[in-house]
Structure 1
């Protein structure tokens, strides 16, 4: 077997990179939207794997910022466009790409942690990633009533053109950003990518429509359908954001009451308020799916980024075979304000865990005690996992609005 090499991306490789990505995800390169693919690329952060002269794999990082517990925003390496040609899988290309990415972040003092959405759940654990957030895929029938007393307020929801909606949406998103762990800050480019609306992006549905409220917005597509009993169309919400409970209820009420619609579908946080507003909660069919996978690149740089929910003074032992600089004993001290300091330790540890487990609790949505119950965390001093778990929990469950 030839030795694999990883090289920087150059523009002359674009067509082959695009073909590699589309073939890996079983798409037709001729019908894929190459302009959309290119629109969010950062050429200097693309790694390309070669087997001799053949391009066989790619992996990309987007430069983004993510909200962490404690209403703070921090740089994250948003890993995306990871693909290996189908006929070159199981030969080490992905492992080599992940090694180059993570080791470069460490050596160059880049982002202290990385995040991705996994196409398959069995792939990224061996590189130190773990599920840190989930989403609910939800289907709700139209006209379903809310609980009595649900306040939709007095402000009207209205539909407006994209040009009118965009400044309202960007301002509100920026305002609410630090309230929501897992949200990504957006630049003009990332908004353009998020709202990409060329015909190939619609998958047979309508162009994007924009509903706005003084304290919220939603953008969505409609999918027309007619059956023997009449109209049975569907609304597919791409994103719904609200600053107040009444705005959230008003936007949902507007979409659920739209004429000719039988069903409204979307992806929301597992604890989204709409799930508690329905008079009959069984009307919301939910499927829980993993979203953000987190990988701590340097735990001594990553853990102090966020705030914590309780004071703590503990020593833990970490295993990390893929990034061995993290291995060993660390002392984590959290003051009453939730600020953390971390340093190497020589004393006996209170508990032991793998780097994947530390990534799982980093956004505050996974309980350390649940990981211990699953045999993933070993408590060495009684009571320490409960105390540490209380400190790591956040006030709000993490959720990411967008797949990247």
Structure 2
């Protein structure tokens, strides 16, 4: 039977969520359905059917993401993409990606999309580039700060979730316009981000909420008692601070908690705690992919953000999946603002759309992508200036999986 594709109805959330659970080989969790309802936009979800059976699907959350120098901008936050076992390698995902990306272009919706990938080899086929990473950081309890580190002397205290949430939301909203990669959040997004049912804990404790007058932290504990005493793990879910001194105070509080053997965190790639420590080697670090970014419309997307330096180059863009992006574009950045227009001039730099997506949030150097053979300099000297213009003040970081 031929496969068909359509958008969903509001009464199809249960069927859609079952399909997603099955796609990821998870048990179907009927009791978690309501968690998704507040984030479910049926008109922005597509599903593929084999007869009456929903065999694949994916959705978009309507959100804003902070981009370099220009605050929050509309982003198509792609979510819950899955294909059921037994229906893979039949073009289901390609149909979904075509519906999403071509629909965004035809309706002139968001100029760029972003997602977290279950497997890193999937989405480059559809023009997504590796736009940000996150770091795993392991630090032993009690690790000392170097001399001269200023720690905010304000009181740090632990409170209930009900008391903490208004403060978490207030601080997050104050900082969000300047933190590249951060997303807008409704109450439903907050509830999902800090879901705390037994199935969410993976053997860890419930969340602990730590407040500071200029920040907050949320963590769980994995209990571990050995013959020489407790060596539990403290897993940081999030740590946010408005000042460097508050940041140091929150880290100091967590590092000094009793019964802990090690602090573990998934954090910004450029988390400064490494430079606070007297012995930087105590912080074990590894990095992996986080956000994958896709420019839906090159002309509109590149104009959304600001740039570090002036540059005037002609780009030759390859984009087989969204052919309207292909061709030559004059990219001019002046005073931080960019203009992009189609031209017939000789190109200075040739690159694929994945490279533009990877560089868009300012964390991936185009010169690095050139070494990875995604970018080719055609006019000597053009690439260095272009690469510098795209850099951000700090590495992008998205503190939530959506």
TM over 0.5: yes
Q: Which residue does the alignment assign to 2:341?
A: 343
Contact 2:35–2:188 (8 Å) recurs in 1: no
Structure 1 residue 86 corresponds to structure 2 residue 85? yes
Contact 2:270–2:394 (8 Å) recurs in 1: no
**Which runs of structure 1 show a deviation greater than 6 angstroms over 4 or more consecutive aligned residues?**
none
**Cα offset, 1:30, TM superposition:** 4.5
| Residues 86-107 of structure 1: per-residue CA shift (max 9 Å, x gap) | 1111111001000000000000
**Cα offset, 1:227, TM superposition:** 1.4
**Cα offset, 1:197, TM superposition:** 1.6
**Cα offset, 1:391, TM superposition:** 0.8
Contact 2:70–2:304 (8 Å) recurs in 1: no
Mapped partners of 1:348, 1:5: distance in 2: 43
**Cα offset, 1:196, TM superposition:** 1.7
**Cα offset, 1:33, TM superposition:** 2.9
Q: Which residue does the alignment assign to 1:193?
A: 192
**Cα offset, 1:189, TM superposition:** 2.2
Tell me how many residue pairs correspond in the alignment: 402
**Cα offset, 1:32, TM superposition:** 7.1
Mapped partners of 2:147, 2:41: distance in 1: 50
Q: Which residue does the alignment assign to 2:361?
A: 363
Structure 1 residue 6 corresponds to structure 2 residue 9? no
Mapped partners of 1:249, 1:209: distance in 2: 18
Mapped partners of 1:62, 1:13: distance in 2: 16
Q: Which residue does the alignment assign to 2:181?
A: 182
Mapped partners of 1:139, 1:42: distance in 2: 38
Contact 1:33–1:200 (8 Å) recurs in 2: no
Mapped partners of 2:18, 2:9: distance in 1: 15
**Cα offset, 1:266, TM superposition:** 1.1
| Residues 231-261 of structure 1: per-residue CA shift (max 9 Å, x gap) | 1212111110011111111111111111111
Contact 1:71–1:181 (8 Å) recurs in 2: no
Q: TM-score scaled to structure 1, two decimals?
A: 0.96
Mapped partners of 2:16, 2:109: distance in 1: 24
- When structure 1 is superposed on structure 2, of 268-277 and 93-102 the one drifting more is 268-277
**Residues 14 and 167 (structure 1), Cα distance of their counterparts in 2 relative to 1, 3 Å cut:** closer
Mapped partners of 1:117, 1:30: distance in 2: 21
Contact 1:320–1:327 (8 Å) recurs in 2: yes
Gap runs ≥5 in structure 2? none
- Report the aligned-residue RMSD: 1.4
Mapped partners of 1:55, 1:166: distance in 2: 37
Q: Which residue does the alignment assign to 1:354?
A: 352
Mapped partners of 1:72, 1:316: distance in 2: 25
Secondary structure at the counterpart of residue 121 of structure 1: coil
Secondary structure at the counterpart of residue 357 of structure 2: helix
Q: Which residue does the alignment assign to 2:129?
A: 130
Q: Which residue does the alignment assign to 2:208?
A: 209
Mapped partners of 1:30, 1:347: distance in 2: 56
- When structure 1 is superposed on structure 2, of 133-142 and 179-188 the one drifting more is 179-188
Q: TM-score scaled to structure 2, two decimals?
A: 0.97
Q: Which residue does the alignment assign to 1:145?
A: 144
Secondary structure at the counterpart of residue 99 of structure 2: helix
Secondary structure at the counterpart of residue 357 of structure 1: helix
Gap runs ≥5 in structure 1? none
Mapped partners of 2:329, 2:241: distance in 1: 40
Q: Which residue does the alignment assign to 1:378?
A: 376
Mapped partners of 1:6, 1:247: distance in 2: 50
**Residues 266 and 31 (structure 1), Cα distance of their counterparts in 2 relative to 1, 3 Å cut:** farther
Mapped partners of 1:162, 1:383: distance in 2: 54
Q: Which residue does the alignment assign to 1:110?
A: 109
The aligned runs of 1:192-341 (5 Å cut-off) are 192-335=191-334, 337-341=335-339
- When structure 1 is superposed on structure 2, of 184-193 and 137-146 the one drifting more is 184-193
Q: Which residue does the alignment assign to 1:75?
A: 74
Mapped partners of 1:89, 1:276: distance in 2: 46
**Cα offset, 1:282, TM superposition:** 1.6
Q: Which residue does the alignment assign to 2:158?
A: 159
Contact 2:135–2:285 (8 Å) recurs in 1: yes
